[in-house]
Amino acid sequence: MTAVGTRDLIVEKADALFYEGGFEATSFADIAAAVGISRGNFYHHFKTKDAILDAVISRRQQRTSEMLDNWQAKGAAPRDRILSFIRLLIANRIKIMAFGCPVGTLCSELAKLDHAAQHRAAEILGLFRSWLTGQFQALGIIRQAEAHAMHLLVWSQGVAVIAATFRDEAFIRREVAGIEEWLDELLVAPAVEN
Amino acid sequence: MTAVGTRDLIVEKADALFYEGGFEATSFADIAAAVGISRGNFYHHFKTKDAILDAVISRRQQRTSEMLDNWQAKGAAPRDRILSFIRLLIANRIKIMAFGCPVGTLCSELAKLDHAAQHRAAEILGLFRSWLTGQFQALGIIRQAEAHAMHLLVWSQGVAVIAATFRDEAFIRREVAGIEEWLDELLVAPAVEN
DNA sequence: ACCAGATTAGGACAAATGTCCTACATGGTC
DNA sequence: GACCATGTAGGACATTTGTCCTAATCTGGT
> pLDDT tens digits, residue range B61-110?
999 999 999 999 987 899 999 999 999 999 999 999 999 999 999 999 99
- Structural domain includes residue A186: yes
Instruction: Compute the distance between CA of residue B26 and CA of residue A25 in angstroms, rounded to an integer.
Output: 11
Residue B125 lies inside a defined structural domain of this protein:
yes
Residues B96 and B182 both lie in one domain: yes
| Distance between the alpha carbon (CA) of B4 and the C1' atom of D24, Å | 24
- Tell me what the mean pLDDT of segment A85-113 comes to: 98
Q: Does the residue B162 lie in any domain?
A: yes
Q: Is the CB of A32 under 7 A from strand D?
A: no
Residues B31 and B71 in one domain: no
Best residue in B108, B125, B127, B182 to probe A by mutation, most A CBs within 10 Å?
A: B108
Amino acid at B170: A
Domain span holding position B9 = 1-47
**Residues B123 and B148 occupy one common structural domain:** yes
Q: Are residues B62 and B156 in the same domain?
A: yes
* A17 and A98 housed in the same domain: no
Whether residue A111 and residue B99 make contact (CB cut-off 8 A), yes or no, is yes
- Same-domain check for residues A39 and A128: no
Domain co-membership, A97 together with A163: yes
Residue A52 lies in a domain: no
**Together in a domain, A89 and A162:** yes
Q: What is the pLDDT of residue A40?
A: 82
Q: Tell me, what CATH number does B28's domain have? A: 1.10.10.60
Please check whether residue A24 lies inside any domain of the structure.
yes
Number of domains within chain B: 2
17-56 of chain B touching strand D, CB 7 A cut-off: 26-30, 39-40, 42-43, 47-50
Do A131 and A78 sit in the same domain of this protein? yes
Instruction: Say if B88 falls within a structural domain.
Output: yes
Asked if B161 and A161 come within 8 Å (Cβ–Cβ), the reply is: yes
Within this chain, do residues A40 and A72 fall inside the same structural domain, yes or no?
A: no
Distance (Å, whole) CA B144 – CA B103: 24
* pTM of the predicted structure, to 2 decimals: 0.94
Q: For residue A168, tell me if it sits in a domain.
A: yes
**Same domain as B147, residue B110:** yes
B52: in domain: no
- Work out the average pLDDT over B129-140: 97
* DSSP states of B117-153: THHHHHHHHHHHHHHHHHHHHHTT--TTHHHHHHHHH
Please list every residue in chain A whose beta carbon sits closer than 8 Å to the beta carbon of residue B111. 98-100, 164-165
State the DSSP string of A48-97.
Answer: SHHHHHHHHHHHHHHHHHHHHHHHHHT---HHHHHHHHHTHHHHTHHHHH
The helix/strand/coil state of A32 is helix
Determine whether the interchain pair A155/B156 forms a contact, defined as Cβ–Cβ distance below 8 Å.
Answer: no
Question: Residue A10 pLDDT > 80, yes or no?
Answer: yes
What distance in Å separates residue B164's CA from the closest CA in chain A?
Answer: 7
Q: How far is the CA of A170 from the C1' of C25 (A)?
A: 55
Domain of B88, CATH number, reads 1.10.357.10
pLDDT tens digits, A19-36: 999 999 999 999 999 999
Residues A80 and A20 reside in one and the same domain: no
Considering only the beta carbons, identify the residue of B104, B109, B165 that sits closest to A122.
Answer: B165
